Amino acid sequence: GMVANNAVFIQAHGGTILELWGAGDSTEPTQKVTFKTNGNVGIGTAAPKAKLEVVKNTATSWTASEDEYAIRIVDGTADVGLLLGVANELNSSAIQSMDPGTGWATRPLLLNPAGGNVGIGTTNPTQKLDVAGYIRGYSAGGRRYRSSDQAAADGVQVRVNIDAENWDLRGNFSDYRFTAPVTGYYQINASIAYCNTTDRAFYATFVRKNGGTTIMETHLHASGTNCVVPTIGDIQLLNAGDYIELIAYQGNASGNTPIHGGNAYTYLSVHLLSVQ
């Protein structure tokens, strides 16, 4: 073989027009760039199968360093860069927009910035984003209910202590309230059950925001001592940090009818529909 230190040479043979070899600090040169007679160019490979094929050792992380990527494109000021890479070990490929001048700060990545449709799993997208399959994305919401009966005085707004959880996507329920993680439109469903009621007494379900503002309300009048379950659903705009609570109210009830607990009766459910 050929032995050299810090050597670079070019040769041509076989089906290859040109081969660029380099040794660097090693004692045995390796083929760096290959130009084939069919017009294909290989970097890191002697047998490129496309007009440009780049081969690099597999990445072990997409977030540790830009050195993990095979291709790096930067603008003249090195303020914005685009990285492309593949990783058998990670079972994935990656495209990352970043700022190479600030040690791994990310930048927005635009697709079709001048317009046009984008397709995933389809060769004929008919909308701005056309996905042939299910989409999984970030959302927020949950459902909590009152697990047992709770005392409630007549003529007083009482917060329902929804102490049992069905589900909570992002941990946004705490202290018997739901707190919006982002500004957006939320589907809100609320229900309170009252049993052993007072005939013709007034029983209500409220949803209260930030400890003072009622944003949803419904009520029923009891007939005899039958159970009443005022239930309401609506879509509300909540700002990030707004919190909502389930509030009970009864009027003209004798004996202070308790709030009836149970998964199907007294609950508050919230789900983020869209971000504002």
**pLDDT tens digits, residue range 73-118?**
888 776 788 989 988 888 999 999 988 766 678 889 999 999 999 9
* Residues constituting the chain: 276
Interval 42-50 mean pLDDT:
89
The mean pLDDT of the chain is 89
Is pLDDT larger for residue 26 or for residue 37?
37
pLDDT at 26: 57
Q: Is the pLDDT of residue 249 over 80?
A: yes
Within the chain, what is the greatest distance between any pair of CA atoms? 102
Q: Which two tokens stand for residue 134?
A: 């299910």
Q: Is the pLDDT of residue 33 over 90?
A: no
Name the percent of the chain lying above pLDDT 70.
90
* Helix (H/G/I), strand (E/B), else coil: 68: helix
**Domains of the chain, start order:** 1-55 (no CATH), 75-136 (no CATH), 141-275 (2.60.120.40)
Nearest Cα to Cα of residue 108 among 97, 118, 99, 100: 97
In whole angstroms, what is the distance from residue 225 CA to residue 148 CA? 20
In whole angstroms, what is the distance from residue 32 CA to residue 43 CA? 6
pLDDT at 44: 85
C-alpha radius of gyration, the chain, whole number: 32
> What is the per-residue burial (b if ≥16 Cβ within 10 Å, else e) of 150-180?
bebebeeebbbbbeeeeebbeebbeebbbbb
Q: Is the pLDDT of residue 193 over 90?
A: yes
